[in-house]
């Protein structure tokens, strides 16, 4: 399983040092949670911060947009150094909008992911699956780190995996929220390719050891 530590849980006064620590920890990528105070009731950071971190590491930048109008901001995040951009299905009900946003990301040869909140059925992702590099199943309500894993969301990964296999796709399945040393045992029973983990990684005494355990 790949691991994508979330910068949301880092010490924001030392973002440069924190990202270098993650680079040396064995993590596969780094997750950037972008929140606008509209789509979710919290505000995090934006593209200029991502840009300032870009030259400190070769890690894959896995950018998770929790914002109201992702299509409008995709280019600025791509220019800031994002390698993967995941946006929320719930950000717009219109499928043309979703497809246009997917195309915009793919036209820059970057990877695209689509995320669903806990109350959204996995079936809502199916029409887009063949266009996606990543399907993100939120295992907490988006907006804040340090929440408890919603275990009932894990079943969605099995249902998505069946569909991915039956269509012979290479879409990866990611989960985000509540991944820690206590919950990783149950998580590993599901067909998950990438786990996001914020609090558990950044608050641990030994980041490399924690990354190793979560990935193994
Ligand atoms: C929640 C974010 C998550 C979150 C994960 O809106 O998308 O990435 O920071 O944090 P932990 O691992 O603390 O649940
Ligand atoms: Zn996230």
Tell me the pLDDT tens digit for each residue of 136-181: 999 999 999 999 999 999 999 999 999 999 999 999 999 999 999 9
Nearest CA to ligand 1 atom 6: 142
Q: Which pLDDT belongs to residue 186?
A: 98
Which residue from 18, 27, 33, 181 has its CB within 8 A of the most atoms of ligand 1, so it is best to mutate? 33
| Per-residue pLDDT band at 70 (split at 50, 70, 90) | very high
List of domains in the chain: 2-215 (3.20.20.70)
- Rounded mean pLDDT of the chain? 98
- 69 is known as an active-site residue: no
- Whose CA is closest to 77, among 62, 89, 91, 90? 62
Average confidence (pLDDT) over 61-77: 98
44/54 Cα distance (integer angstroms): 17
The pLDDT value recorded for residue 102 is: 98
141 CA → ligand 2 middle, Å: 10
Annotated catalytic residue within 62, 133, 176, 193 = 176
pLDDT-based confidence at residue 215 (cuts at 50, 70, 90): very high
Where are the strands (E) in the chain, listed by range? 2-5, 29-35, 60-66, 84-88, 111-116, 134-138, 172-176, 194-197
Distance, in Å, from the CA atom of 95 to the CA atom of 90, rounded to the nearest integer, reads: 11
Phi, psi (deg, nearest 5) at residue 24: -95, 10
Answer whether 0.95 is exceeded by the pTM: yes
Residues 6+ apart with CB under 8 A from 10: 18, 19, 202
Cα-to-centroid distance, 87 and ligand 1 (Å): 15
Interior/surface letters 9-20, b for 16+ CB within 10 angstroms, e for the rest: bbeeeebeebbe
* pLDDT range class, residue 129, cuts 50, 70, 90: very high
């Amino acid at each position: 399983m790949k691991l994508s530590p979330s910068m949301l849980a880092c010490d924001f006064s030392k973002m440069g040092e924190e990202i270098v620590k993650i680079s040396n920890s064995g993590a596969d990528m780094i997750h950037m949670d972008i929140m606008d105070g509209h789509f979710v009731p919290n505000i995090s950071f934006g593209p200029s911060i991502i840009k300032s971190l870009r030259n400190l590491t070769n890690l894959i930048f896995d950018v998770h947009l929790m914002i109201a109008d992702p299509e409008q901001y995709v280019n600025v995040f791509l220019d800031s150094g994002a390698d993967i951009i995941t946006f929320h299905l719930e950000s717009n009900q219109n499928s043309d909008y979703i497809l246009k946003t997917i195309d915009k990301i793919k036209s820059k040869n970057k990877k695209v992911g689509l995320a669903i909140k806990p109350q959204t059925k996995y079936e809502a992702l199916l029409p887009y699956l063949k266009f996606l590099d990543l399907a993100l199943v939120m295992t907490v309500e988006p907006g804040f780190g340090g929440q408890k894993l919603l275990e009932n969301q894990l079943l969605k990964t099995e249902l998505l995996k069946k569909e991915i296999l039956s269509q012979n796709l290479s879409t990866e399945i990611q989960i985000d929220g509540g991944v820690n040393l206590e919950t990783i045992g149950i998580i590993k029973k599901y067909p998950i390719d990438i786990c996001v983990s914020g609090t558990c990684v950044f608050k641990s005494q030994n980041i490399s050891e924690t990354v190793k355990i979560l990935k193994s």
